[in-house]
Amino acid sequence: MTAAQAGAAPARSGVRYPPPLAFAIPFVVAWLLDRVNPMPLVGPDRRLVISVAGTVLGALGIGLASWAARTFRRAGTAVNPFEPSTALVQGGPFRFTRNPMYIGLTVLYLGLTLLVNSFWPVMLLPISLAAITLTVIRREERYLSSKFGAAYDDYRRRVRRWL
């Protein structure tokens, strides 16, 4: 009988790939599509504006994901979803969203989209969001619920998945 069958929490979340790949792969595909069939967001006269906006968004995304990772480390729990969680983190950016790292990656993705000035990444972003939700977040939520029980369920009721 496995731990899950015996009612014990699984040792790990069951996430099968590094979550940043859910964003990186569609972005690279979008970038390649843009090389074949360019679809700029703006013309050359607005390029500076979206480059500045892209840089700001990229920095905000990295900052949010880094803040969340530091919050995990301070709590003494793993940032890596392949390792077991040892604490239910509810402070820092986790007060506002259950997934600040994935929001940070989404904001970074949007910033890079502006920097490459292509509509293709916008069209593929829903694939990233669906992949991260269906194959990462839902697994993590099941794992955390089984590991932390009522404390996680209460947290999940109080704090939104995204924003």
Mean pLDDT to the nearest integer, 20-39: 98
Q: Please report the DSSP string for 3-47 in residue order.
A: TTTTTPPPSS----S-TTHHHHHHHHHHHHHHHHS---SS-GGGH
pLDDT digits (tens, 9 = 90+) for 56-73: 999 999 999 999 999 999
**Would you say residue 14 lies in a domain?**
no
pTM, entire model: 0.91
Residue 163 lies in a domain: no
1 is a domain residue? no
The packing angle between helices 100-116 and 21-36, to 10°, is 10
What integer pLDDT is reported at residue 5 of this predicted model?
43
On whether the CB atoms of residues 65 and 101 are closer than 8 A, the answer is: yes
Q: Which pLDDT tens digit goes with each residue over 129-145?
A: 999 999 999 999 999 99
SS3 at position 127: helix
Name the residue range of residue 48's domain.
Answer: 21-155
Distance in angstroms (rounded) separating the CA atoms of residues 158 and 126: 26
Domains: count for the chain: 1
pLDDT for 4? 45
- Any domain includes 145: yes
CA gap 160, 19 in Å, rounded: 19
